């Protein structure tokens, strides 16, 4: 378009100002340098036990030792994984597993991230965590994917355990002992090395 004065007559209240600047093309508009993007507050975890994810895994009942459930804990900074067998999912069972974790990890985490599970956000487990200065951050109800680090790690542990059981020709009832085998506890994905 050579004559921009036509634009002034297209509607009411439109004024045409000519400041002798070149009209931007779409290519130039896309490549305009923008300001710096803001970083999310608190998204980077820099030290071990700063944020630890927590979830309950379900196994096959009737195995040696009587463990039906596993408490899975994953450190967000180091991706180190701890698993503790539980006979049930009561507050006492979770509390016992958490005490084992505190001893093995060498301290108390600053923040525990978990699903919106009543066993975690109410009762004995949350009392224990809060009494030692841990904040509990629960995913909204129905959004367990927001606890993704633990969910992905649990899936990886399950896949590895199934493969190990299959290769050793062992029955499913040995699931718990296979989950606790040393290679699984030390897994680190290639992208974190």
Rounded to a whole number of angstroms, the distance between the first and last alpha carbons of the chain is 57
Residue 149 has pLDDT above 60, yes or no: yes
Residue 179 has pLDDT above 70, yes or no: no
Reported confidence tier of residue 99, pLDDT bands at 50, 70, 90: very high
| The pLDDT of residue 190 | 41
| The pLDDT of residue 67 | 80
> Which of 8-12, 32-36, 125-129, 184-188 is predicted most confidently?
125-129
pTM of the model: 0.67
Instruction: Answer yes or no: is 111 within a domain.
Output: yes
Instruction: Answer yes or no: is 114 within a domain.
Output: yes
Reported confidence tier of residue 108, pLDDT bands at 50, 70, 90: very high
Residue written as token pair 């990886």: 156
| The pLDDT of residue 1 | 52
Identify which has the larger pLDDT, 72 or 118: 72
- The answer to whether 91 touches 120, Cβ cutoff 8 Å, is no
Q: How far apart are CA 74 and CA 149, in angstroms?
A: 7
- Per-residue CA distances from 104 to 73, 81, 174 (Å): 12, 11, 24
Please spell the DSSP secondary structure of 57-117, one letter per residue. Answer: EE--TT-TT---EEEEEEETTT--EEEEEESS-SHHHHHHHHHHHHHHHTS--SEEEE-S-
**Domain of residue 100, CATH code:** 3.30.420.10
3-state secondary structure of 55: strand
Mean pLDDT for 151-174 is 81
Pairing relationship of beta strands 69-75 and 81-86 according to DSSP bridges: antiparallel
| The pLDDT of residue 70 | 87
> Which of 6-10, 29-33, 51-55, 157-161 is predicted most confidently?
51-55
Q: In the numeric block, which tokens belong to residue 46?
A: 């820099």
Q: How far apart are CA 106 and CA 43, in angstroms?
A: 24
State what percent of residues in the chain have pLDDT above 90: 18
| The pLDDT of residue 95 | 92
Instruction: Answer yes or no: is 66 within a domain.
Output: yes
Instruction: Answer yes or no: is 98 within a domain.
Output: yes
Q: What integer best gives the mean pLDDT of the chain? A: 77
- The answer to whether 108 touches 114, Cβ cutoff 8 Å, is no
| The pLDDT of residue 145 | 65
Instruction: Answer yes or no: is 70 within a domain.
Output: yes
Q: How far apart are CA 144 and CA 44, in angstroms?
A: 21
| The pLDDT of residue 102 | 93
Q: How far apart are CA 89 and CA 59, in angstroms?
A: 12
Range of the domain at 126: 51-192
Instruction: Answer yes or no: is 76 within a domain.
Output: yes
pLDDT digits 0-9 by tens, 26-46? 777 667 777 776 666 556 888
Instruction: Answer yes or no: is 28 within a domain.
Output: no
Our count of domains for the chain comes to 1
Residue 128 has pLDDT above 70, yes or no: yes
Instruction: Answer yes or no: is 33 within a domain.
Output: no
């Amino acid at each position: 378009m050579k004559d921009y004065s036509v634009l002034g007559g297209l509607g009411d209240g439109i004024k045409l100002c000519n400041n002798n600047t070149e009209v931007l093309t779409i290519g130039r508009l896309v490549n305009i340098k923008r300001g710096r993007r803001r970083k999310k507050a608190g998204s980077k975890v820099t030290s071990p036990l700063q944020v630890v994810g927590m979830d309950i895994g379900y196994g096959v009942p009737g195995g040696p030792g009587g463990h039906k459930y596993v408490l899975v804990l994953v450190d967000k900074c180091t991706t180190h994984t701890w698993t503790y067998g539980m006979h049930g999912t009561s507050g006492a069972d979770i509390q016992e597993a958490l005490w084992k974790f505190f001893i093995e990890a060498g301290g108390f985490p600053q923040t525990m991230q978990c699903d919106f599970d009543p066993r975690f956000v109410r009762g004995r487990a949350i009392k224990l965590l809060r009494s030692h200065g841990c904040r509990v951050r629960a995913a909204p109800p129905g959004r367990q994917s927001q606890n993704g680090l633990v969910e992905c790690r649990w899936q990886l542990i399950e896949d590895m355990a199934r493969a190990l059981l299959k290769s050793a020709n062992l029955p499913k009832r040995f699931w718990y002992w296979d989950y606790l085998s040393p290679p699984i506890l030390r897994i680190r994905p290639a992208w974190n090395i």
